[in-house]
């Protein structure tokens, strides 16, 4: 490896490839999750989960897991003790 090459240039790990099934599930369940999935003129897939589309808690939980690359879980918990109706929790493994 060249001294100027990126440190992980030869790494085969792909977080995008790992989390692709979560993204596919989000898109496949768009109606149930109340999200809108479209493609722009270049073919890029755009998921609206709360701007024009209503979205919801289930969509938010799944998107949270997508944002963690599929390597974490997001759970909804009672937030009354914190003064909120609910809260999100990322449990430790």
Q: How confident is the model at residue 10 (pLDDT cuts 50, 70, 90)?
A: confident
Q: Is residue 5 part of a domain?
A: no
Provide the 10 A C-beta neighbour count for residue 48.
16
Q: Does residue 8 form part of some domain?
A: no
Residues 13-23, buried b or exposed e (16+ Cβ, 10 A)?
eeeeeebeebb
Domain-located, residue 38: yes
Q: Hey, is 17 helix, strand or coil?
A: helix
- What residue numbers bound the domain in which 28 lies? 15-89
- Answer whether 0.85 is exceeded by the pTM: no
Number of structural domains found in the chain: 1
Q: Is the model's pLDDT at 4 over the cut of 80?
A: no
Summarised one tens digit per residue, pLDDT across range 45-77 is 999 999 999 999 999 999 999 999 999 999 999
- Give long-range contacts, CB 8 A cutoff, 24+ apart: 43-51: none
User: Mean pLDDT of all residues in the chain?
Assistant: 91
Whether 43 is in a domain gets the answer: yes
Residue 2 maps to a domain: no
Distance (Å, whole) CA 61 – CA 32: 14
- The CA distance from 5 to 19, in Å, is 26
Q: Is residue 3 part of a domain?
A: no
The rounded percent of the chain whose pLDDT value lies above 90 is 67
């Amino acid at each position: 490896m060249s001294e100027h090459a990126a440190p992980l240039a030869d790494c085969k790990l792909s977080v995008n490839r790992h989390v692709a099934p979560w993204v596919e599930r989000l898109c496949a369940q768009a109606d149930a999750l109340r999200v809108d999935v479209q493609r722009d003129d270049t073919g890029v897939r755009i998921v609206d989960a709360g701007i024009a589309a209503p979205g919801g808690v289930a969509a938010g939980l799944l998107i949270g897991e997508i944002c963690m690359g599929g390597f974490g879980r997001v759970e909804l918990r009672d937030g009354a003790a914190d003064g909120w109706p609910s809260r999100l929790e990322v449990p430790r493994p």
